[in-house]
C-alpha cells in the first residue's frame, strides 16, 4: 500500500495543491523515503482560510446547538477508536516513535482527549442567566471565537492537533490545521474520519507546510485565533504577531523539567517511573524530566541506579514492540543531540552512560546513545537548554529547599515530578515548584485538568473546561 498523497483537505474535499513542491517523508529508522506528499504554499493556506471563513460566516456549524455538534464529534470519536492501531503505526513510521509509545500515547491519548472534551462540553455553561446587581438579568453566552489556526509540532502530532481541533469543533469554530512537514501522514487518516463523521464542508481544513507558510497562516487577516504548540523561539515570534493584531493566541512551548528524588523514595519504583517521565518518545517530549535532582548524600546511589536503568533500555527499530528508545526524528535532530552531548563534556559534566557514537548494531537511522551526565551544575547549558533527546543530567542538592530552588532556576515552567515515600511531603514540594503540571511518584497528564506552562513554557492552557474556554468569546446580554 502506498502512503503517497497528492492533495490537501480543503472545504470538505481533496484539493490539488497550488504549487508543485513536495515533501519526502523519510523513515528515521531506515533513512529511506516512505511517502511523498504535497508541500503547502501561501496560496494553499489562502484557500484553506477562505473555506474556513465561509464555513464560519455562512455555514451551519457555528449556528448548530452544542448538542448537535457534540453528536457529530461523538461520531468522530467512535470512528477514531476503531483506527487506533493504524494511527499508531503511521506515526511511528513517519517520525520514529517506538510503537510501544505510539500504542500508549500517540493514538489512544488523542482519542481519550476527544472523549474527555465531549464530557466537558456536555456540562459546559454555553449559556447561563445570572441575576445582575442593577436590577436586570444577564445572559452570559460562550460563543465560538471564529476561525482557528492550529499549528502542531512533529513529536506528538495527533496529540497536539486534537487538543486544538476538538475544543474548536465543540465551540462552533472552524479551523485550519498546518501540520509539521515531518508528520504529514497522520492528518490524512484523521481527515477521512472527519468526513465519515459528518463534519460539514470547510469546518476543518488541512495544509501541511513549513515555517514560512505557517507564519503566513498566523498573520492571515481571516484568522481569529492561533493555537500553537512548538518551540519557545517560534512561540515568541507568533505571540508578537498576534499581539500586534490583537488576535487570540494560546502557546504550548518548551520545557526543561526537574524530577526531584527525595531520600525516602523507593529507588526501584522511581527508576521505573523515570523511564517514562524522562525518556518517553525517545526523549522528544516537552514534558520530559531531563534534570534529575538527587541529594548530595544519596547522589552516587541515584547516579548508579539511573545509569543501570538507562543502559538497560532497548534502543532500535521503532516497529519492534520491545523497543523503548527509537531514532531521533531527523538527521538535524540527531546532530543537535550529539552537539549537546559534546557540549556537556566541554562544560565539565561526566558521562556515566552513553556519550557520542552510534548505538551498537545500528548502522542506519538517526540514532543517538541514551546518555546520563553526572556532576552537572544547574547553570550549565545542558541543564538550562531543551535538548529534545534522551540525555539526562543528574544535579546534586543540599536539602529540600535547595532542590525546589534548583527546580525553579529555569527559564521554563512546564512540568516536574517529586519521588518520595511521603505523599504529603511530595504535595508540599509540588506546591512550591512553579510549573503548570506536576506529578507525585508519577507523571501522567489527565485531560480533565488544565495543561500548560508557566514562564517561557507558554501562555494559556489546554484540556479541561479551561482548554475549551480558549475557543470561546464571552458575551453578556442585559435583559429586563
Ligand atoms: P518548531 O517551533 O520548530 O515547530 C512547531 C510547528 O510550528 C511546526 O509545524 C512548524 O512548521 C511551525 N512553525 C515554526 N515556526 C513558525 C512560525 N514562526 N510561524 C508559524 N509556524 C511556525 O518546534 P518543533 O521542533 O517542531 O517541536 C519541538 C518543540 O515543541 C519543542 O520545543 C517542544 O518542547 C515543543 N512542544 C511543546 C509541547 C507543549 O505542549 N508544551 C508539546 C510538544 C512539543
- Residue minimizing CA distance to atom 16 of ligand 1: 211
SS3 189: helix
150 within 8 A of 227, measured Cβ to Cβ: yes
Whole-number Å distance between alpha carbons of 383 and 400: 19
Sign of the alpha-carbon dihedral angle for 131, 132, 135, 138: negative
DSSP element (H, E) containing 343: helix 331-346
- The answer to whether the CB of 161 falls within 8 A of the CB of 177 is yes
- Count the Cβ atoms, other than its own, within 10 Å of residue 212: 9
Q: How many whole angstroms separate alpha carbon 60 and alpha carbon 434?
A: 43
The best mutation among 157, 161, 231, 329 to test binding of ligand 1, ranked by most ligand atoms within 8 Å of the C-beta, falls on: 231
- Would you say the C-alpha torsion 178, 183, 184, 188 has a positive or negative sign? negative
The span from the CA of 282 to the CA of 87, in Å, is 19
Question: Residue of the nearest CA to atom 21 in ligand 1?
Answer: 214
Please say if the pLDDT value at position 454 is more than 90. yes
List beta partners, residue 148: 175, 225
Residue position matching grid coordinates 476503531: 82
Tell me how far the alpha carbon of residue 247 lies from the centroid of ligand 1, in angstroms: 19
Q: Which distant-in-sequence residues (6+ apart) come within 8 Å of 141 by Cβ?
A: 126, 127, 474, 475, 476, 477
- Rounded Cα gap, residues 37 and 35, in angstroms: 7
Rounded to a whole number of angstroms, the distance between the first and last alpha carbons of the chain is 64
pLDDT of 443 > 90? The answer is yes
For the Cβ of 237 lying below 6 angstroms from any atom of ligand 1, the answer is yes
Mean pLDDT of the 432-444 span:
97
Is-contact 278 392, C-beta < 8 A? Answer: yes
Closest ligand 1 atom to residue 156 Cα is 43
183-229 per-position pLDDT tens digit: 999 999 999 999 999 999 999 999 999 999 999 999 999 999 999 99
Show the cell assigned to 395.
544535579
Kindly state the average pLDDT of the residues 391-406.
99
Q: How far apart are CA 117 and CA 467, in angstroms?
A: 9
> In percent, how much of the chain has pLDDT > 70?
100
> Which residue has the least CA distance to atom 40 on ligand 1?
252
3-class secondary structure, 252: strand
**Nearest 5°: phi and psi at 281?**
55, 35
Cell of 162: 486534537
Distance 70 CA to ligand 1 centre (A): 29
* pLDDT at residue 435, as a whole number: 98
Q: What is the percent of the chain with per-residue pLDDT over 90, rounded to a whole number?
A: 99
- Measured in residues, the chain has a length of 480
Contact 235, 267 (CB under 8 A): no
Q: Which three cell numbers stand for residue 269?
A: 519504583
Q: Could you tell me the pLDDT band of residue 475, with boundaries at 50, 70 and 90? A: very high
C-alpha cell at 119: 464530557
The residue-averaged pLDDT of 130-139 equals: 95
One-letter-per-residue 3-state SS of 193-210: HHHHHCCCCCCEEECCCC
- The answer, yes or no, to whether any atom of ligand 1 lies below 6 A from the CB of 439, is no
Residue 161 beta carbon below 6 angstroms from any ligand 1 atom = no
**Residue among 223, 467, 246 at smallest CA distance from 214:** 223
Instruction: Name the E strands within 168-316.
Output: 174-177, 204-206, 225-229, 248-252, 258-261, 291-295
Q: Show the cell assigned to 93.
A: 513510521
Residue 158, ligand 1, Cβ within 6 A: no
Is the pLDDT assigned to residue 158 strictly greater than 90? yes
* 293-304 CB burial, b ≥16 within 10 A, e <16: bbbeebbeebbe
CA 96 – CA 456 distance, rounded (Å): 28
Best mutation site among 161, 230, 243, 384 for ligand 1 pocket (most ligand atoms within 8 Å of CB): 230
Pairwise CA distance, residues 194 & 196, whole Å: 5
Q: Indicate the average pLDDT of the chain.
A: 98
321-376 pLDDT, tens digit each: 999 999 999 999 999 999 999 999 999 999 999 999 999 999 999 999 999 999 99
- Report the separation in Å between the CA atom of 235 and the middle of ligand 1, taken as the mean of its atom positions: 8
Does residue 227 line the site of ligand 1, with CB under 6 A?
no
Handedness of CA 378, 457, 237, 106 (dihedral sign): positive
pLDDT beyond 80 at 400? yes
Number of neighbouring beta carbons within 10 Å of residue 361: 8
Tell whether the model's pLDDT for residue 66 goes beyond 80: yes
Contact 150, 123 (CB under 8 A): no
Q: Catalytic residue positions? A: 252, 286
| 158-172 burial: b if 16+ Cβ within 10 Å, else e | bbbbbbbbbbbbbbb
Determine what percent of the chain falls in helix, strand and coil, rounding each to the nearest 5.
40, 20, 40
Task: For ligand 1, say whether the CB of 415 is within 6 Å of any of its atoms.
Answer: no
Quick: pLDDT tens for 247-274: 999 999 999 999 999 999 999 999 999 9
> How remote is the CA of residue 246 from the centroid of ligand 1, in Å?
21
140 secondary structure, DSSP code: E
For residue 150 and ligand 1, the question of a CB distance below 6 A is answered with: no
pLDDT at residue 1 in the model: 72
CA distances from 397 to 87, 274, 416 (A): 43, 18, 16
User: Has residue 428 got a pLDDT over 80?
Assistant: yes
Question: Does the CA dihedral 33-34-38-39 come out positive or negative?
Answer: negative
Distance 419 CA to ligand 1 centre (A): 30
Amino acid at each position: 500500500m502506498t502512503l503517497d498523497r497528492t492533495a490537501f483537505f480543503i472545504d470538505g474535499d481533496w484539493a490539488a495543491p497550488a504549487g508543485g513542491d513536495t515533501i519526502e517523508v523519510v523513515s528515521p529508522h531506515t533513512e529511506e523515503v516512505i511517502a511523498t506528499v504535497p508541500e503547502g504554499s501561501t496560496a494553499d493556506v489562502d484557500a484553506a482560510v477562505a473555506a474556513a471563513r465561509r464555513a464560519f460566516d455562512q455555514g451551519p456549524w457555528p449556528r448548530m446547538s452544542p448538542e448537535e455538534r457534540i453528536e457529530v464529534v461523538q461520531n468522530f470519536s467512535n470512528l477514531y477508536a476503531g483506527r487506533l492501531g493504524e494511527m499508531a503505526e503511521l506515526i511511528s513510521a513517519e517520525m520514529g516513535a517506538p510503537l510501544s509509545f505510539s500504542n500508549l500515547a500517540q493514538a489512544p491519548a488523542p482519542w481519550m482527549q476527544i472523549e474527555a472534551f465531549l464530557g466537558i462540553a456536555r456540562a459546559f455553561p454555553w449559556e447561563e442567566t445570572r441575576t445582575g446587581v442593577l436590577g436586570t438579568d444577564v445572559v452570559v453566552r460562550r460563543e465560538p471565537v471564529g476561525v482557528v489556526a492550529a499549528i502542531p509540532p512533529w513529536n506528538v502530532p495527533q496529540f497536539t492537533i486534537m487538543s486544538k481541533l476538538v475544543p474548536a469543533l465543540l465551540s462552533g469554530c472552524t479551523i485550519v490545521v498546518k501540520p509539521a512537514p515531518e508528520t504529514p501522514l497522520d492528518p490524512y487518516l484523521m481527515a477521512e474520519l472527519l468526513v465519515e463523521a459528518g463534519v460539514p464542508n470547510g469546518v476543518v481544513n488541512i495544509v501541511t507546510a513549513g515555517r514560512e507558510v505557517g507564519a503566513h497562516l498566523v498573520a492571515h487577516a481571516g484568522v481569529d485565533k492561533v493555537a500553537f504548540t512548538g518551540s519557545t523561539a517560534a512561540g515568541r515570534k507568533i505571540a508578537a504577531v498576534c499581539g500586534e493584531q490583537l488576535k487570540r493566541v494560546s502557546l504550548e512551548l518548551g520545557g526543561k523539567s526537574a524530577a526531584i528524588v527525595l531520600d525516602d523514595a523507593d529507588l526501584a519504583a522511581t527508576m521505573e517511573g523515570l523511564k517514562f517521565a524522562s525518556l518517553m518518545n525517545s526523549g522528544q517530549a516537552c514534558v520530559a524530566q531531563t534534570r534529575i535532582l538527587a541529594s548530595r548524600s544519596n547522589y552516587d546511589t541515584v547516579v548508579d541506579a539511573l545509569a543501570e536503568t538507562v543502559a538497560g533500555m532497548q534502543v532500535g527499530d521503532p516497529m519492534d514492540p520491545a523497543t523503548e528508545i527509537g531514532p531521533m526524528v531527523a538527521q538535524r535532530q540527531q546532530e543537535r543531540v550529539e552537539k549537546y552531548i559534546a557540549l556537556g563534556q566541554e562544560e565539565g559534566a561526566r558521562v556515566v552512560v552513553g556519550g557520542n557514537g552510534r548505538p551498537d548494531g545500528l548502522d542506519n537511522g538517526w540514532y543517538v546513545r541514551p546518555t546520563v551526565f553526572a556532576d552537572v551544575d544547574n547553570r550549565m547549558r545542558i541543564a538550562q537548554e531543551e535538548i529534545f533527546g534522551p540525555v539526562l543530567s543528574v544535579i546534586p542538592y543540599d536539602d529540600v529547599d535547595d532542590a525546589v530552588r534548583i527546580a525553579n532556576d529555569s527559564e521554563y515552567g512546564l512540568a516536574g515530578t517529586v519521588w518520595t515515600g511521603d505523599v504529603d511531603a511530595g504535595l508540599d514540594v509540588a506546591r512550591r515548584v512553579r510549573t503548570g503540571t506536576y506529578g507525585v511518584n508519577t507523571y501522567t497528564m489527565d485531560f480533565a485538568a488544565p495543561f500548560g506552562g508557566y514562564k517561557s513554557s507558554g501562555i494559556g492552557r489546554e484540556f479541561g473546561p479551561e482548554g475549551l474556554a480558549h475557543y470561546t468569546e464571552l458575551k453578556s446580554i442585559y435583559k429586563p
